[in-house]
Amino acid sequence: MTVATIIIALLIFGLLIVVHELGHFLVAKAAGIRVEEFSLGMGPALVKHRRGETLYSLRLLPIGGYNRMAGMEPGDDFNDPKGFNRQSLGWRLGVISAGSLMNFALPVFLYFLVFLTAGVPVNEPVVGRVTPGWPADQAGLRPGDRIVQIQEEKVTTWNRVVEIIHQRPGDPLRVVAERDGEQLTFTMTPREDPRSSLGMVGIEQSLIRYSPGQSLVMGFKQTGQFLVLLVVGLWQMLTGQVPADLVGPVGIVQLVGQAARFGLASVLSFAAFISLNLGVINLLPIPALDGSRLVFLAVEGIRHRPLDPEKENLVHLIGFMLLILFMIAVTYRDVTNIFGG
């Protein structure tokens, strides 16, 4: 786990926290609610700055954030006209749900950037990039060459090209490729990757980039597809159809490192996926999460009168403590998995 990986992970965590809390903040301001503090992180404050009625703070632990709104905490003046509790049910539902909605909107933008700038891989056997000094470069293979045959096997997909090369570290390969309508033959010997023991020749597949309009459409489509997969996967875990596979902050940092090896597009895609996870999990009816607050508001709408705020806050406090204990347990498991404990 390198310093660069940790920095990238912190930037991703920071982005997700900012986006989520900004959703709550903007809707609260639109509703006329007084936001007493907008905080990124938990624990002791590193930086504080007051602007207007709101204190903006950056705190030590990058494990979350919060908006402290008037009329939400024990001891608040629940008759304050600018308090959260004095707003209409619709506004309060909007404030609580806005965090997750922002986490669903962020992936659309991130995938838009990926499709527009980095592009997406094409599963055709066309070389997109050749790494200088590697076997493919030394043999004379160039970007744009279409690989049609390796040894005696005809190939039609990039995946098959990769499979063959991975399986033959140290073995000379005869590669036939088309360039400008002419077939050329190259001989190259894959190097063995010390981390994976797979053969590598230093080539990357070609990418296709989209127009701004197409990228936006693809961003919505990709976000929707992954959101459906997440909800289905979560349901399968909750119903015991598949084993629970959860990672904490330490595990996420390790996954960031793996994504970073494949470039910026991979990091942005990973950040989009984590943002979707955060949005979905926050909507679960678990005490201390946004989903439980939405449940309390829904009950209020059915009963036509609010619940006792002290009792509700006690439920959220107990839920928060349990979530912290759960996070510690998951983090311990991630650490032991990394170091083989």
Catalytic residues: 21
**Token pair belonging to 99:** 């965090």
Cα–Cα distance measured from residue 115 to residue 134, given in angstroms and rounded to the nearest whole number = 28
User: What residues pair up with 205 in beta bridges, in sequence order?
Assistant: 127
**Token pair belonging to 235:** 């349901």
For residue 202, give the DSSP letter.
S
Cα–Cα distance measured from residue 187 to residue 173, given in angstroms and rounded to the nearest whole number = 6
User: What residues pair up with 186 in beta bridges, in sequence order?
Assistant: 175
53, 35 Cβ separation under 8 angstroms: yes
Integer-rounded Cα Rg, in Å, for the chain is: 26
Cα–Cα distance measured from residue 201 to residue 182, given in angstroms and rounded to the nearest whole number = 22
SS3 state of residue 233: helix
